[in-house]
Amino acid sequence: MKIQRQQHTGLLQKAARILLGTFMVFAGIGHLTFQRKAFQAQVPEWLPVPKDFIVVSSGFVEIALGLALIFWKKQRVNTGLFLAVFYVLVFPGNIAQYTGHKDAFGLDTDGKRLGRLFFQPVLILWALWSTGALKAVRNREIE
């Protein structure tokens, strides 16, 4: 019974990881193309770097992380950790969108923008759980 549960959990993790990887690749492509302006709306004004540079470079990072989630089995745990850190690093953009009352991605009210802020921890946990990084950290397998 325990083996079946572990297999089931493994399949769920794999599906969640591939789904998240696909989402990241799609979002990264959006950064570089059809959603570029919307992503620029999330870049905080206080950053001393051009908004387009932030959007394009983060798009490349998202594509790389997404592909790594899907295909780089040897580095799955590290990829999960890097992705979680990436989500923490881009969180100020979500805050800037909320505090600046900027419409993008269908987030056209303060309530929707506020709700988006609570989704970031979900993404962080999703990245950590689906890659096994959460378990590795808990078991102190990370050096």
Checking if the pLDDT of 77 tops 70, the result is yes
The tens digit of pLDDT for each residue in 16-64 reads: 999 999 999 999 999 999 999 888 888 888 999 999 999 999 999 999 9
CB 9 within 8 A of CB 132: no
Give the predicted TM-score (pTM) of the model: 0.85
CB 24 within 8 A of CB 65: yes
How does residue 85 score in pLDDT terms, banded at 50, 70 and 90?
A: very high
What whole-number distance in Å separates Cα of residue 87 and Cα of residue 91?
6
Query: Closest Cα to residue 68, out of 15, 17, 9?
Result: 17
What whole-number distance in Å separates Cα of residue 140 and Cα of residue 143?
8
Checking if the pLDDT of 143 tops 60, the result is no
Low-confidence winner among 18-32, 70-84, 99-113 (lowest mean pLDDT)? 99-113
125 vs 103, higher pLDDT: 125
| pLDDT score, position 142 | 64
Percent of the chain residues past pLDDT 70, beyond the cut: 92
Checking if the pLDDT of 14 tops 90, the result is yes
| pLDDT score, position 140 | 79
The tens digit of pLDDT for each residue in 112-136 reads: 888 889 999 999 999 999 999 988 8
